[in-house]
């Protein structure tokens, strides 16, 4: 499948400034409270596909405006385990208080890959962020795949991997997730489990990307955890090599919108003693292939 991504010089309605040489770009010149014309939405989506994660600065949205903007890019998929805001159930409010010991969703991961249909993408809005600290890092999984030898690519192309929610919502749930955020009991939450290809073909760009991560990938399909560990450990290290990554520094009113099909992300836990409040919306994806 040929790529549908536009070249940077094709943008006529938005300003696109790359964040790094490997992924990420800031888009300026838009007020996301307004109704965006279809041609503007199309260019934003093209930038999203080209750069894997895009960022907007200095926005001032209420939850309903945030939902309306996100819905221009796909069907919203409310989190299957965690409770949304009362005034906007599609929006997950994530608050870290100054005394909290752990960040939400620590470590490198793609979102909800334990679902049969993992997210297409997610949007995170920084409502209240520390003056310093609390950055997010992103990793390009196209490049991670491309950097492998042809032999390793051939091997991985024949493998599937098991993704499970048990580690996040099982024994570690009390320290990983605040009880008031849970909308199902732990016994139900830990049942989330799916099998996906180790190498995923992106449904819009046609490019191949690695689709494993230490957040939810627990083993290779039809192998034990012990048998899977050497190869998965290699891949977990490989997928987050510095040359595949970029780092985003938050300001109040910033939005990050990442492609969950071809990128990983991780929060930087360097702001203990400070408050951070964000809103997240997840967009429904397709069954990986």
* pLDDT tens per residue, range 105-142: 899 999 999 999 999 999 999 999 999 999 999 999 99
pLDDT of residue 5: 43
Q: Within 10 Å of residue 226's Cβ, how many Cβ atoms?
A: 8
Residue 182 domain-assigned (yes or no): yes
Helix, strand, coil percentages, rounded to 5, for the chain: 25, 25, 50
Is the model's pLDDT at 7 over the cut of 50? Answer: no
Is the model's pLDDT at 3 over the cut of 50? Answer: no
The answer to whether 79 is a known catalytic residue is no
Is the model's pLDDT at 2 over the cut of 80? Answer: no
| Separation between Cα atoms, residue 135 and residue 137, nearest integer Å | 7
Residue 272 domain-assigned (yes or no): yes
pLDDT of residue 177: 61
* pLDDT tens per residue, range 183-214: 676 777 778 899 999 999 999 999 999 999 99
Average pLDDT score over residue span 45-66: 98
Residue 289 domain-assigned (yes or no): no
Half-sphere exposure of 35 (CA within 13 A, CB side): 2
Q: What angle do CA 217, 109, 47 make, to 5 degrees?
A: 130
| Separation between Cα atoms, residue 84 and residue 90, nearest integer Å | 6
The answer to whether 160 is a known catalytic residue is no
Residue 156 domain-assigned (yes or no): yes
pLDDT of residue 187: 73
The number of folded domains in the chain is: 1
- Phi, psi (5° rounding) for residue 257? -130, 105
Is the model's pLDDT at 173 over the cut of 90? Answer: no
Q: Which two tokens stand for residue 201?
A: 């073909």
The answer to whether 80 is a known catalytic residue is no
* pLDDT tens per residue, range 217-266: 999 999 999 999 999 999 999 999 999 999 999 999 999 999 999 999 99
Confidence label for 169 from pLDDT (cuts 50, 70 and 90): confident
The answer to whether 265 is a known catalytic residue is yes
User: What integer best gives the mean pLDDT of the chain?
Assistant: 92
- pLDDT above 70 covers a percentage of the chain that reads 93
Residue 109 domain-assigned (yes or no): yes
**Boundaries of domain holding 210:** 8-283
H helices of 78-170, in order, are: 141-146, 150-156, 166-169
pLDDT of residue 192: 86
| Separation between Cα atoms, residue 269 and residue 133, nearest integer Å | 8
List the catalytic residue out of 79, 196, 261, 265.
Answer: 265
Confidence label for 40 from pLDDT (cuts 50, 70 and 90): very high
List the catalytic residue out of 111, 163, 196, 213.
Answer: 111
Residue 2 domain-assigned (yes or no): no
Q: Which of 10-24, 87-101, 175-189, 270-284 has the lowest mean pLDDT?
A: 175-189
Residue 3 domain-assigned (yes or no): no
Q: Which CATH number belongs to the domain containing residue 59 in this structure?
A: 3.60.130.10
List the catalytic residue out of 51, 79, 109, 213.
Answer: 109
């Amino acid at each position: 499948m040929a790529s549908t991504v536009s070249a940077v010089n094709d943008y006529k309605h938005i300003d696109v400034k790359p964040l790094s040489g490997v992924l990420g770009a800031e888009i300026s010149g838009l007020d996301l409270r307004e109704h965006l014309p279809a041609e503007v939405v199309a260019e934003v989506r093209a930038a999203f596909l080209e750069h894997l994660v895009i960022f907007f600065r200095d926005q001032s949205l209420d939850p309903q405006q945030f939902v309306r903007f996100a819905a221009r890019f796909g069907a919203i998929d409310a989190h299957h385990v965690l409770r949304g805001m009362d005034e906007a159930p599609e929006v997950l409010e994530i608050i870290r208080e100054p005394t909290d010991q752990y960040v939400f969703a620590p470590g490198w991961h793609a979102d909800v890959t334990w679902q049969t249909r993992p997210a297409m993408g997610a949007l995170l809005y920084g409502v209240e962020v520390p003056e310093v600290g609390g950055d997010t890092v992103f990793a390009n999984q196209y490049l991670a795949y491309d950097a492998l030898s042809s032999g390793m690519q051939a091997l991985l192309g024949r493998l599937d991997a098991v993704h499970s929610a048990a580690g996040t919502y099982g024994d570690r749930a009390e320290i990983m997730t605040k009880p008031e955020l849970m909308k199902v009991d732990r016994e139900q939450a830990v049942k989330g489990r799916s099998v996906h290809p180790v190498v995923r073909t992106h449904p819009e760009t046609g490019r191949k990307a690695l689709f494993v991560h230490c957040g939810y990938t627990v083993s290779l399909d039809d192998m034990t955890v012990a048998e899977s560990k050497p190869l998965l450990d290699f891949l977990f290290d490989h997928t987050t090599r510095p040359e595949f990554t970029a780092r985003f520094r938050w300001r109040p009113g910033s939005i990050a919108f990442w492609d969950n099909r071809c990128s990983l992300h991780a929060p930087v836990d360097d702001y203990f003693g400070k408050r951070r409040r964000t809103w997240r919306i997840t967009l429904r994806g397709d069954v990986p292939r």
